[in-house]
Amino acid sequence: MQHVARKRFGQNFLVDPQTVMDIIGAIHPGRDDLLVEIGPGLGALTRPLLQLLNHLHVVEIDRDIVERLRGEFSEKKLTVHSADALGFDFSVFGKNLRVAGNLPYNISTPVLFHLSKFAEAITDMHFMLQKEVVARMVAQSSTADYGRLSVMLQCRFEMEQLFIVSNECFRPAPKVESAFVRMVPRGPRLIAANREKLFAEVVSAAFSQRRKTLRNTLYAYLKPEDYTVLEIDPRKRAENLSVAQFVAIINYLSER
């Protein structure tokens, strides 16, 4: 029976064979890798991954697809976790975890932030995302795409856009193009775990009104003399600060 894509799950199924080959080549799975695919859908990536892996885990929210996958593949080769990736505890897999998938565009950012919590156990991640989202993820400071998402993710991951994917490669075809991105957790943490809440608050405040200067957006956190110590011009806007400068602000506030 043909599966009808469900809009509430943001389902757009990859159907282009060449794109599948490009993705598998980018992931380059090893036989013994511990890999989890988020949103396997109709199995466009699942099938070629199973040919290269001893075992694969998938996380899928759609119960109809869960039943389809369990009926098609042996439990010895595929473990299907019937769950919402947004609430899934990825720590159950232990260390050296690799994650991949074609993420639903409507929840891609929350999923990325959720996975950030498990970064220390992750080796790398490869995702298909909306092209505009990837552009913001990898954007450099003082560019139009640079913002809260850029800073929050670049603090935890080294990221690289690998290639663009046309909307014609999906069924149903989304209205936007996609991009495939690689994310590798940074070695030493730039922000200590006990400072992450403050980091999120400061970055959110800084970008809350993009056209306003730091003097106005961070008035609750920094006084004029603080900018002197930090060697940051308070007349600059959040988009002009590098990730390293945001990290310096958090470390300064925490130690002050």
- CA angle, 231 as apex, 205 and 251 as ends, to 5°? 55
Return per-residue pLDDT of the chain as tens, 256 residues: 444 444 444 458 899 999 999 999 999 999 999 999 999 988 999 999 999 999 999 999 999 999 999 999 999 999 999 999 999 999 999 999 999 999 888 899 999 999 999 999 999 999 999 999 999 999 999 999 999 999 999 999 999 999 999 999 998 788 899 999 999 999 889 999 999 999 999 999 999 999 999 999 999 999 999 999 999 999 999 999 999 999 999 999 999 7
Q: Which residue has the tokens 């609430």?
A: 87
Domain boundaries, the chain: 7-185, 193-255
Name the architecture of domain 193-255: Orthogonal Bundle (1.10)
Number of C-beta neighbours around residue 233 at 10 A: 12
Burial group, residue 60, by CB count within 10 angstroms (0-12, 13-18, 19+): buried
Cα–Cα distance measured from residue 93 to residue 78, given in angstroms and rounded to the nearest whole number: 14
What predicted TM-score, i.e. pTM, was given to this entire model? 0.93
Per CATH, 7-185 and 193-255 having the same topology is answered no
In angstroms, the Cα distances linking 221 to 30, 88, 151, 201, 225 are 47, 34, 18, 10, 12
DSSP assignment letter at 217: H
Please report the sign of the dihedral spanned by the C-alpha atoms of residue 132, residue 134, residue 136, residue 138.
negative
Q: Which CATH number fits domain 7-185: 3.10.20.600, 3.40.50.150, 3.30.460.80, 3.50.50.60?
A: 3.40.50.150
Residue 94 is predicted with a pLDDT of: 97
Residue 6 is predicted with a pLDDT of: 43
Q: Which residues pair with 56 in a beta bridge?
A: 78
